[in-house]
């Protein structure tokens, strides 16, 4: 466990993460953003575009900053989802059954489906380069929802719209996506 104090907004290591994510050698190679840079990133992220400054202030206290190494699996297919993520720096790829389904870049979110429906994760997300992700634990997000925070409710609406857009892309047969029904590809 890392004995260093954690800022409420920017946590360099997650206390419940494995030790490799808190490797001081790996962290020395990263340029960690300051709080203002994290807030600016959140403000510019399409998923959070509908939040006012006051609502954004509610949200920033539920995110944790996590460094990731190239080749590191950030989430794994089949695992229980306890958090969703925003890619702040670097690139990642979404894989399922050995196939790359999508490439992720700055501002993309992932992991939200397993958190919203409680089912196991449907894909693995692997860091294509070293980078930073913002982790939003379900527990912290649920507490924000239960507090009556307008930010949390707006985020649920944004996540719903994101999932609807992804579903429409799948149904339209967007390049790189395959929709399967009872094991048969469409």
Q: Does residue 10 sit within a domain? A: no
Domains of the chain: total: 1
Classify burial at 91, counting beta carbons within 10 Å of its beta carbon; exposed 0-12, middle 13-18, buried 19 or more: middle
Q: In what order do the strands lie in the sheet with 83-89?
A: 63-68, 131-137, 83-89, 109-110
pLDDT band at residue 174, thresholds of 50, 70 and 90?
A: low
d(CA 10, CA 21): 15
Half-sphere exposure of 91 (CA within 13 A, CB side): 5
Q: Does residue 14 sit within a domain? A: no
86-107 residue pLDDT tens: 999 999 999 999 899 899 999 9
Mean pLDDT of 58-68: 88
Q: Does residue 115 sit within a domain? A: yes
126-173 residue pLDDT tens: 999 999 999 999 888 888 888 887 777 788 787 878 778 877 877 777
- Is the overall model pTM greater than 0.75, yes or no? no
CATH of the domain at 44: 2.60.120.10
- Structural domain boundaries enclosing 71: 19-185
Q: Does residue 154 sit within a domain? A: yes
Q: Does residue 5 sit within a domain? A: no
Q: Does residue 60 sit within a domain? A: yes
């Amino acid at each position: 466990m890392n004995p260093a104090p954690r800022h409420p907004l920017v946590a360099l290591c997650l206390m419940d993460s494995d030790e490799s994510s808190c490797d001081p050698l790996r962290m020395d190679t990263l340029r960690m953003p300051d709080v203002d840079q994290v807030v600016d990133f959140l403000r510019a992220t399409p998923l959070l575009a509908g939040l006012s400054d006051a609502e954004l202030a509610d949200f920033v206290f539920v995110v944790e900053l996590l460094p990731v190494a190239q080749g590191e699996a950030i989430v794994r297919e089949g695992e229980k989802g306890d958090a969703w993520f925003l890619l702040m720096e670097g690139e990642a790829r979404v894989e399922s059954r050995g196939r790359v389904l999508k490439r992720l870049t700055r501002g993309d979110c992932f992991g939200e489906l397993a958190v919203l429906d409680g089912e196991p994760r449907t894909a693995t997300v692997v860091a294509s380069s070293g980078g930073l992700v913002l982790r939003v634990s379900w527990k912290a997000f649920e507490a924000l929802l239960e507090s009556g925070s307008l930010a949390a409710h707006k985020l649920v609406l944004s996540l719903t719209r994101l999932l609807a857009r992804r579903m429409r892309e799948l149904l339209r047969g967007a390049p790189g996506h395959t929709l399967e029904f009872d094991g048969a590809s469409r």
